[in-house]
Chains A and B, each alone.
Chain A
Amino acid sequence: MRPDEIGGILRDILREEVASAVGRLDGLEEQIVLELGDRSPRLRFVDWVRGLTAPTRAGRVGQLAVLGATAALFLVVGVLITQNAPLAPALAPRLAARTNHEVLFVVPALDAESVAVVGDFNAWEAAPLTDENQDGIWTASIPLSPGRYEYAFVIDGRWWGQDPLADEYVRTFGQYSSVRYVGGGGDGV
């Protein structure tokens, strides 16, 4: 078959294809224009807001009225949520807990079997200190709210009330106790 014969056959085939597809192309232009005009929901919301704030016949006063009404609506919804939702009371203790200070109690006691801290923060009942790496330095971290706290260490059952890290000392019942001011001007924390 000669090349010019092949070209003729191909042209005929293409012509038939185009003729059969013409029907499907009807209205394509309008469809593309419509889709281009159908913008995303976010843009539609922006357009809606713009529409609200656009100059109206009532002018600037109208815009301000629309904005004010929207703000009032948000305010009312906010107040209702704060009053009724269980979230607020649930948050309160956590916020209060944030005001606590982790107070570190440290005492060197090389050969001690047991070390505890007693103080008015735990009604003078022993809270144990630990020496995890066995280096003779015993520690405990206790969360305390702001205030003045008296305490002492009990090392193998013996009272030891003069902590070098204390802000001051008191002596009652013939024995010393240490004092730390937490959350104030002292070095308690």
Chain B
Amino acid sequence: MRRLIKRICGIELLFVVLLIGAAAASAQIPLETFNQALSAIPLAAHDRILAAIETGTSQPEFPSDHLLALIQRLGPIAGPAKDKESILLMLTRAMERGLPIAGLLPASFELARALEEGLPIEGVVLEALKGIAQGSPISVIVAGITLRLVVLWDVRDLLFDRGIFRAAPGAAGSVATALPTEKFDQLVAQIADAISDYLEGDGRPYAGEAMYTLVADRLRNLPEAVVRPEDVDLVLDRIGPPDLTEIALNALS
């Protein structure tokens, strides 16, 4: 028994030593390392982001290593630089407001993964920025990001399933259902945003008809410069209320 207690104490001691070591190591990440990692991304707000990190690293329990890992993960992603910057700006805004970003980092990695997969994440990040501006708790903002990302994935998969694709560069127009990348992404983002707004506004997931009407109104109100009427007709013709109910249930599950 005594031997067992000793062994447990030894393991605990080792664990504590490792924790302290990890904390010390993370605290020792110099600002220049962050600066170099940020330099791999074309950023308009480089200085602002770095300043927020500098402030953050001076605080205890700041997740320096995870933040650095995120920046290093974002660097080589082929997605638009403005989307990478928007993820970092979301964290910057939270740091500037003195919010703990540890909770936001896993969601940020999820955003990076979505960006890597070519999803139009701009609306999701903007919604998180709205939550920060409203002073919402980090847990609520993270829940919003998670829900919106699930809906975004599902809406894109739904369009793929219905034979509506993003055309390869230079091949737009060769097939009626292969839309230019920008138009396809707008449709996915707007449909997903409408469904997510509905769900976050306490809408019932089983009310497929209501969601379909909401989506249709949203798409038809958008100016032609954003989505083309023929693309809107194509999408509304190929999706239906049961599809939206399925997406809503999946997002809430």
Given the contacts A183-B225, A184-B222, A172 and B190 also touching, CB distance less than 8 Å: no
Partner of B201, one of A150, A172, A186: A172
**Is A48 part of the binding interface, using a Cβ–Cβ cutoff of 8 Å?**
no
- Contacting B at CB under 8 A, from A147-189, are 147-148, 150, 159, 167, 170-175, 177, 181-186
Chain A neighbourhood of B253, CB < 8 A = none
Nearest-CB distance from B47 to chain A (Å)?
16
How far is A123 from B210 in the complex, measured between Cα atoms in Å? 29
Known: A171-B201, A172-B197, A173-B200. A148 touches B221 (CB 8 A): yes
Please judge, given known A-B contacts A170-B197, A173-B140, whether A124 and B223 are in contact too, CB under 8 Å. no
CA distance A185 to B219 in the complex (A): 11
Is B110 close to A, CB under 8 A? no
Q: Does B151 contact A (CB under 8 A)?
A: no
B171 interface hit (Cβ, 8 Å): no
Are the CB atoms of B201 and A147 closer together than 8 Å? no
Contact A173:B144 (CB < 8 A) given known A123-B89, A123-B126, A148-B190: yes
- Give the complex CA separation of A62 and B169 in angstroms: 46
Chain A CB within 8 A of B113 CB = no
Asked if A107 is an interface residue, CB under 8 A from chain B, the answer is no
Within the complex, the shortest CB–CB distance from A99 to chain B, in Å, comes to 7
A172 to B202, CA, bound (A): 9
Complex formed: what's the CA distance from A103 to B123 in Å? Answer: 21
- Give Cα distance in the complex from A36 to B127, angstroms: 81
Q: How large is the interface on B (under 10, 10 to 19, 20 to 34, 35 or more residues)?
A: 20 to 34
A181 and B130 form a contact (CB under 8 A):
no
Contact between A147 and B126, CB atoms less than 8 A apart: no
Contact, CB under 8 Å: B226 / A147: yes
Complex-state Cα separation, A170 to B127, whole angstroms: 12
> Which chain A positions have C-beta within 8 A of B155?
none
A145 and B225 contacting across the interface, CB-CB below 8 Å: yes
Of the candidates A148, A170, A172, A173, which one forms a contact with B226 in the assembled complex, judged by CB atoms under 8 Å apart?
A148
Q: Are B126 and A120 in contact (CB under 8 A)?
A: yes
A12-35 near B? 1/0 per residue, CB < 8 Å: 000000000000000000000000
**B224 proximal to A (CB < 8 A):** yes
Whether A123 and B221, one on each chain, are in contact in the complex, defined by CB atoms closer than 8 angstroms, is: no
Chain B 213-253 interface mask (CB, 8 Å, partner A; 1/0): 00000101111111000000000000000000000000000
**Number of contact residues on A: which range applies?**
20 to 34
Instruction: Digitize B127-144: 1 where CB-to-A-CB distance is under 8 Å, 0 elsewhere.
Output: 101111110100011001
A170 to B131, CA, bound (A): 13
Q: When the two chains form their complex, are residues A146 and B225 in contact, meaning their CB atoms are under 8 A apart?
A: yes
Interface string of A107-140 (1 = CB under 8 A from B): 0000000000010100111000000000000000
CA distance A170 to B196 in the complex (A): 11
Check A172–B130 contact: CB distance below 8 A: yes
- Bound together, the chains give a CA A186 to CA B220 distance in angstroms of 10
Residues of A near B226 (CB, < 8 A) are 146-148, 184
**Chain B 165-176 interface 0/1 with A at a Cβ cutoff of 8 Å (1 = within):** 000000000000
Contact: B221 with A124, CB < 8 Å? no
Cβ contact within 8 Å between A120 and B222: no
Measured CB to CB, the residues of B under 8 A from A are 86, 89, 123, 126-127, 129-134, 136, 140-141, 144, 190, 197, 200-201, 218, 220-226
Q: 26 A-B pairs, CB-CB below 8 angstroms?
A: A120-B123, A124-B129, A124-B133, A145-B225, A146-B225, A146-B226, A147-B225, A147-B226, A148-B218, A148-B222, A148-B226, A170-B201, A171-B201, A172-B127, A172-B200, A173-B131, A173-B134, A173-B136, A173-B140, A173-B141, A175-B134, A184-B221, A184-B222, A184-B224, A184-B226, A185-B223
